[in-house]
Structures are given as structure tokens and as C-alpha cells.
Amino acid sequence: MELFAIPLVFALIALVAPKSKVNYVGLIGAVVSMVVSFIHVANFSPDQYVSVFAPDFILSFGLTFKMGYDGIGLFMVVLTNVITTLILLSNLNRETAHNRAFNALVMLMQFGLLGVFTAMDGIMFYIFWELTLVPIFLISYWFGSADRKKPLMKFFIYTFIGSLAMLLSLMALGTYSRSFAYEDLLAAQLTAKTAFWVMAGFFLAFAIKIPLFPFHTWQPDTYTVSPMAGTMLLSALMLKMALYGMVRWMIPIAPEAMDALSCMVITLGMIGVVYAAVIAIKQSDIKRLFAFASISHVGLIAAGIMLFNKDALAGAFIQIANHSLVALGLFLAADILERRMGTRNMYDMGGVAKLAPKFGFWFAAVAFASVSVPLTSGFIGEFLLIKGLYNYSWIVGLVAGTTLVLGAVYTLRAYQISMFGAPKMEAFSDLTWNEMLTFFIIMLIIVVVGIYPQAIIDFVGPSLDLTIETVKGTKVIVQ
């Protein structure tokens, strides 16, 4: 219970804290919440399911309020807490950090995310899922750049309509099930046709949030106009909800429709990988470039999840963590550049590496992690995903493999143009301590996971086995 209570309590404290200290309130909240989740990890063995909240009543419409976590859930909870801490840490000196509403909204967002990852009831999942939309919208709207209105409107409407499709699916499921508790939904017997529509509803919601090609059109604009913390929350955490949702909800609940949909999703993912990467290569706006890079990376993860075998899923989870950290680092670097140069256009930058060697080093480290060089977590994640996709079909494997090449092209190109060459300005103040610390922690985790990925695989493995078993065990009813 304390898992959720802490962000909420700190959200309330942030509302009344004095303005000069409110940035620390947010950070302390995130750190406390992170420490608590570490305690949960310490008391957890990967093959168990821990119930956080399970009242013994069911509301009249089947809402059970069940919350709990297994390996997957706890993994995402820890990821959320770590990333939120890093976001607030990197944001500590920005002007937004001194705003009470900002800190409260970030905490509320964290609360919603923790709810999403521990909800064990369809309606609870939906409620938390939507709950995260409001704070991120408000953060981006209040603190975003001047041209934010249209992209944010598009973002909200897009994701809201996607969620409504998921709600329809849940309603349809509700007619087959006793309650919305996870195990009841798993036990629901669907015909192949119903399962198809149920899964399609979930898929629409998740595809918009991830975002998969062709549902991605809201994403580059929204990332660009959001403030740094908003972009980080969107890319590092919010889209992970959808990837997690695919593993936890979409596939296990309607596995009967896997055959019908997996080919399509994998194809869309592959199109996204190549398409977004090619667009990223042609970008001059550095934030937009990383936004497209994000589409390219998550397309691969989504395609890997649709394979639904152990290796690919383990790879997907490593890649989820990796992408969160890398996106955090890249958007931090983009924001540092934008803030100190006053532009997002790469061609107006140059020579930064000479003026700010520390920044040059850490940005390069994150860029290499993004390219998935060996010994970073991205390498092992992408390797497992591409291996799985290759086994599915060699053509798909080949297309997926291009992500490594294309990723190197756009990331290193961005790095080269912005950081090397003749300096275009007199001075560039180097990293502040909090930015440096953020980069350091990001790289530390990336390298540790890159050297010892088994830690994550062992952590999420038993839960993944269990989920795969339920999916494999479901018989398709022929009408």
C-alpha cells in the first residue's frame, strides 16, 4: 500500500511546500518511493505473486480493486521509480522544478504509473491508465513551448480515443466474465471472433500509446513541444505502459486472436523500425530526431512481444529498461543543447565537445548505448529480439537487423554535427552536478545490465514462463 501512498502524499506536500524548496520535495518523494520499491524487491522471490491490495468485495459492476505484482509488475514498478527519480534529479535546476503544480503533477503521474503496473483488475488498469494521461497533458500544456496547443490536443484526443477502444474491449469482456479481476478475465472463454475484436480494441489503445506506425503521428510533435521532463515522462515511462499492457493484458486475455493479429503487428513494427529511422536520419531538429528514434526502437520491442516466447520477451524487458534510460539521457542531452544554444537545430550547433568536454563524454556514452554497442544493455536486448524475429521469419529478422545500422547512422550523425566541428559560440557551460549525476547513474545501470543481463532475465523469467503457459494453454474455440 505504501507503494502508492508515497507519491500521493508527496504530491500533496508539494502543493503547500515553499517555492524555493519544492524541487527537493519532489525529488525526495521519488527517492523515498524508489527506496520503498527496493525494499519490496529485497523481500521478493521472482516466482511469487504479492498481493498489495485485495478487498474481499466486488462492486456491483465487477470492479474488484485488486492490486498486486509479480516479477513483471515489480520490474516495471522499480523502473518507474528509478526513472522518475532521475527525471526529477536532472530537472532540479530548471525553472519548472520550482513550480508547485509541476512537482505535484509528476508525483501524480508516478502514482498513476505505479497503479498501471500493479493493477490486477481490468477496470483498475483502465482507470490508472487514463489517470496518467491528465498529469502528462497538464505538465506539457503548462510548461511546454509556445506552439504546444495543436500537438497536445492531437495527443490527448488520439490517446483518449485509443483508450475508449480499450474500454469497449473491457466491456465486451465483462459480459463473458464474473468480474474484472485478472484471473477471471483470463478464465473467460472467448470465441475466436470475439477474441479478435477484444484484442483489436486493446491493440488500438496500445498501438497509439507506443506508438506504432501508422498511429505515431501525434508523437514527434508532442515530444518536441513538451518541456524536458514531459518528454522524458512520455518516452521513458508512458509508452512503457503500453508495452507492459501488451504482455500483461492484451495477449493473455485474448490469446485466441494471436494468430490473426501477430503477423500484422510484427509487420507494422518492422515498417516503423525502418520508416522512423529513415525519417530520423533526415531530421535537423535534435529533439524531433530522438522522437523518431524512439518510434524506431519501440517498434522492434512491440514486434518482439508479439512473438511471445521467453527469449523475445526477456529481450523486450531488457530493451524496455534500456530504452527508458537511453531516452532519458538523449532527451536530457537535447535539452542541455537547446537550453544553452537557444536552438534545436543541429546545424546551428557545433564544437560543443571542445567547450564542454564532460558533456561531450557523457553524451557520447549515451549515444553509444543508444546504438547498442556490446557491453551496454541495448546490445543484449536487441540481440534477443532480433534473434527471435529471425526465427519467426528470416526476412523479418533481416529488416529488424537494419535498426542497428540505421540507429548508428542517425545517432552518430546527430552527435557529430552537434558536438564536433568549429565552435559556433564563445562559451558553453558544462554539466551541473545534477545533470552529471543523472548521466552517471544512467550509464552505470546500462553497463551493469549490459554485462550481467541475466539479472533481469531471472527477475522477470518465472512470471514470463507463467504468462506464456496460460497463453499456450488456451484452446481456441471453433464456432
Partner 1 sequence: MDALIVIFVSGIVAMFIAMTHKPLLVLATALVGLSVGIGLMVNQWYNPYLLFDYNGLAFGRGEVIYSVAAMTFALLIIAGGYSYFKREPEHTGEYISLILFSLTGALCMIGYTDLFMFFIGLEILSIPVYVLAGSKKKDLQSSEAGLKYFFTGAFATGILLFGTAWVYGATGTFDLRELSNILAEGTANGPLLYIGILMMMASFLFKVGAAPFHFWGPDVYAGSPNIVTGYMASVVKLAGLYAFLKLFTYVFSAASDLWTGALFGMIVLTMFVGNLSALRQTKFKRLLAYSSISNAGYALMAPMIISDASLFNLWIYLVGYGFAVIALIVISLIVNDDSDNIESYKGIGRKNPWIGFVLVLSVLSLAGVPPLAGFFGKYMVFSSAFATYPILVILAVINSGIGVFYYLRFVMVALSSEDAEQAPVLKPCILQWVVLAICAIGLLLSGYITL
Catalog residues that contact partner 1 under the rule CB under 8 A: 59-61, 101, 123, 126-127, 130-131, 133-134, 138, 141-142, 146, 149, 152-153, 156-157, 160-161, 164-165, 167-168, 171-172, 174-175
Nearer to partner 1, 124 or 316 (CB): 124
Q: How far is CA 326 from CA 235, 253, 313, 319, 362, in A?
A: 10, 31, 19, 10, 12
- Least Å distance, CB 161 to partner 1, is 4
Write out the DSSP string of 384-453.
HHHHHHHHH-HHHHHHHHHHHHHHHHHHHHHHHHHHSSS--SS------HHHHHHHHHHHHHHHHHHH-T
- Least Å distance, CB 101 to partner 1, is 7
- Least Å distance, CB 173 to partner 1, is 10
Residue 51 near residue 40, CB atoms below 8 Å: no
Q: Cα separation of 113 and 378, whole Å?
A: 23
- Least Å distance, CB 137 to partner 1, is 8
Residue 456 phi, psi (nearest 5): -70, -40
Nearer to partner 1, 19 or 475 (CB): 19
Nearer to partner 1, 153 or 281 (CB): 153
Residue 233 near residue 362, CB atoms below 8 Å: no
Nearer to partner 1, 44 or 53 (CB): 53
CB-based contacts of 298, cutoff 8 Å, min separation 6: 210, 211, 212, 239, 243, 272, 323
CB-based contacts of 407, cutoff 8 Å, min separation 6: 277, 293, 296, 297, 370, 371, 372
**Joined grid coordinates for residue 128:** 490508472
Nearer to partner 1, 112 or 350 (CB): 112
Residue 162 near residue 207, CB atoms below 8 Å: yes
- Least Å distance, CB 228 to partner 1, is 18
Nearer to partner 1, 163 or 411 (CB): 163
Residue 396 near residue 266, CB atoms below 8 Å: yes
- Least Å distance, CB 257 to partner 1, is 18
Nearer to partner 1, 138 or 181 (CB): 138
Question: Which single residue is written with the C-alpha cell 545501470?
Answer: 445
Amino acid residing at 55: P
- Least Å distance, CB 464 to partner 1, is 29
